[in-house]
Amino acid sequence: MRPHWEQWRTDEEQLFARLRTREHADLVVTTG
């Protein structure tokens, strides 16, 4: 499963960067 989740994370990071999700968010939750 690890390769699947790593690809998911990469895809999600690229999508969020393209959509500029963080810039449009009303709330950003940072963990870790």
Structure tokens of 10?
Answer: 């990469």
- pLDDT score recorded for residue 13: 97
As a whole number of angstroms, the distance between CA 13 and CA 10 comes to 5
- pLDDT score recorded for residue 6: 98
The per-residue DSSP string of 1-32 comes to -HHHHHHHHHHHHHHHHHHTHHHH-S------
- pLDDT score recorded for residue 12: 97
Distance (Å) of CA 32 to CA 23, 29:
21, 10
- pLDDT score recorded for residue 32: 87
pLDDT tens across 1-32, in order? 999 999 999 999 999 999 999 999 999 999 98
